[in-house]
Chain A
């Protein structure tokens, strides 16, 4: 086992996780807002923010799917040591982690059932950039309108149309994160 596997967890888990969760909660409650997080130093190619989300929310009862380049020995070992989360395929995961191209198509992930719409996957999407510009967001948590640099709009429109079923997204970039719940409707920015 590589020594880097054992490092990079929260130094004071109760306090670090509390701050991290508040950032994730604010992000999920206010779609489009971007929040800095800290405390995790995961191995490449994991970003700090993705590492923080995994440490804050995952445990041995939450199957994680690693997509594309994330499915490497360093990430597998780090998640196993720090969270104990089992790794699984997309069809029965609670969390999925990867870049957008590796996560699509989205219809492979559980969207919940009409009686239990909460039994759906949360996708942690690693992004090369994350800015409050681009696709227009409307819905609960947004006063008038918000904007976020999403990788596309069609998949998110389709996801929102299934409400209350659907996937929820956390976008991570370096040490910052934003979120997009299924309740948010997305529209292309107006042409000017």
Chain B
């Protein structure tokens, strides 16, 4: 039931206008981080305040919302954000990727292919891909302006020099339409290929860092790599223990003190959709 003590979707209208203008500029300049006046939200920074503000600015009463946290619909962050919008916006919610019109996500892209008409909202902790290489905002801003991304390639090269391969496994940097280097949020690099040529609108919100950026549908997104060390979307080399899927991203779950473990789909909806259709893994009850 909608809580009438709040404006629709919690935020006041002027704040939504400000966020909406930032989203439009973000869509017009794919991969560029648009500064916005992030608000205090009734949850701590780091719990998805950026994603929540973007979702609040995008939602209409007709939407069906899905929220995932590391692929799961049933973890604390996902359940509480879903409850937040059920209460303040009165929107319908679902766990099925196909039924959702707006999907807020923390650190995963759903396994099911997204469609036109859907909006994927990412929660982003550190939007600046160059931040750990150059702490000064004045400098990173200049680097983006000058398209000076050599430092990022040096970082990937040092990975190869030390480990023999590019060891970056998540938040793997991408280049958008051959122009801006962008942090795809801490999604596993397994998900990187799904960023490109996606039929859905992808919006990224970083609350603490006060940045919004976007990928319009069918935008070309390339993971940075080298000719002799091409990008590889890796995952654990196992089938899912519950549904037997061999093509989904897996979580490793430790099951006892003796080191026994199982691998299960990180995308709970994908896994739960497959099991009733007769797909069984070796650990299925």
Contact = CB atoms under 8 A, between A and B. Distances in A.
B16 A17 contact: yes
Contacts of A58: 17
A115 B13 contact: no
Given A18-B61, A140-B218, A183-B177, A118 B13 contact: no
The dominant DSSP class at the A interface is loop
Contacts of A26: 201
A17 B13 contact: yes
Nearest to A24: B24
Contacts of A114: 145-146
Interface in B192-245: 199, 201, 214-220
A49 B204 CA distance: 27
B25 A168 contact: yes
Contacts, number: 117
Interface residues on B, range: 35 or more
Contact of A14 (B7, B23, B214, B220): B7
Contact of A115 (B20, B30, B141): B141
Instruction: Select the residue from A13, A25, A166, A181 with max chain B CB neighbours within 10 A.
Output: A25
Main secondary structure of the interface of B (DSSP, over half): mixed
B13 A164 contact: no
Contacts of B14: 59
Contacts of A166: 28
B262 interface: no
A154 interface: no
Interface residues of A, number: 41
A24 B57 CA distance: 13
Nearest to A83: B17
B23 A140 contact: no
B259 to A, nearest CB: 47
Interface string A1-35: 00000000000011101110110111011100000
B27 A181 contact: yes
A51 to B, nearest CB: 15
A21 B28 contact: no
A115 B145 contact: yes
Interface string B8-41: 1100011011101111111111101011000000
Interface of B: 7-9, 13-14, 16-18, 20-30, 32, 34-35, 57-62, 141-142, 144-146, 177, 179-180, 199, 201, 214-220
16 contacts: A13-B13, A14-B7, A14-B16, A15-B8, A18-B8, A24-B24, A26-B201, A56-B17, A118-B22, A140-B215, A140-B217, A140-B219, A163-B179, A166-B28, A182-B29, A183-B29
